[in-house]
Amino acid sequence: MNPDVTEILDGIGPRLHRLRRDRGRTLRSLAEETGLSISTLSRLESGKRRPTLDLLIPLAHAHRVALDQLVAAPATGDPRVHLRPHRKGRGSVVIPLTQYPGRVQVFKQILGQRKPRLVTHEGYEWLYVLAGKLRLIIGDRETVLSPGEIAEFDTAEPHWFGPADEQAVEILHLFGPHGDQATARK
């Protein structure tokens, strides 16, 4: 086996052990959540069992981390992040900037004209206007934000945001589980 691959695989066990310990998890609780046996988890952490995708995927899900955080694949030498935009209807584009399930997610969004429709869901949102004007409705309150302005709110309140006029608006959008708040420092 390639020495680089061996080194990567040998680093996974200690990484899994550190992650479980840092999160205060027991082998038993992790076994119950993942469906993997305690002995399999113990052997993975000690390096006595080679990690495979069918073992790592449920562990990444249980720890709410991306699979590459468990594997720590070697750098390619290219520092650029290759983003994959998702085109939505009416000129809207969403570009995920992070990929960590269960943690704060960051998106760059370009929002085209659309009709307001208030929604609610669990979580907390933080919006930063890059370009254009953003119309934000939270409950019965309405605000227009300009470039450089920030808004944050609990998504349990009915809310909607989009362009304040006929022009698209460009924003950074952080969304996190309830209680995970991005706070602007003054």
Instruction: Give pLDDT tens digits for 91-100.
Output: 788 888 876 6
Contact 91, 168 (CB under 8 A): yes
Grade residue 64 by pLDDT with cuts at 50, 70 and 90.
confident
pLDDT (0 to 100) of residue 158: 95
Tally of domains within the chain: 2
pLDDT exceeds cutoff 60 at 9 = yes
Residue 6 reports pLDDT greater than 90: no
- For the cut 80, the answer to whether the pLDDT of residue 68 exceeds it is no
- What is residue 33's three-state secondary structure? helix
| 117, 171: one domain | yes
Same domain, residue pair 125 and 168: yes
Q: Tell the residue number behind the tokens 């760059």, with chain if given.
A: 108
CATH number at residue 11: 1.10.260.40
Q: 43: burial class by Cβ within 10 Å (0-12, 13-18, 19+)?
A: middle
Residues 153 and 126 in one domain: yes
| Sheet with 159-163, side-by-side order of all strands | 141-145, 134-138, 159-163
Q: What's the half-sphere exposure (Cβ side, CA atoms, 13 Å) at 140?
A: 0
Domain boundary among 36, 71, 106: 71
Residue 181 within a domain: no
Q: Do residues 94 and 155 both lie within one domain? A: yes
Q: What is the pLDDT of residues 162-183, one digit of tens each?
A: 999 999 999 999 887 654 545 5
Give the C-alpha separation, 119 to 153, whole Å.
13
Is the residue at 155 inside a domain? yes
Q: Which residue has the higher pLDDT, 92 or 14?
A: 14
Q: Whole domain around residue 104: which residue ranges?
A: 86-176
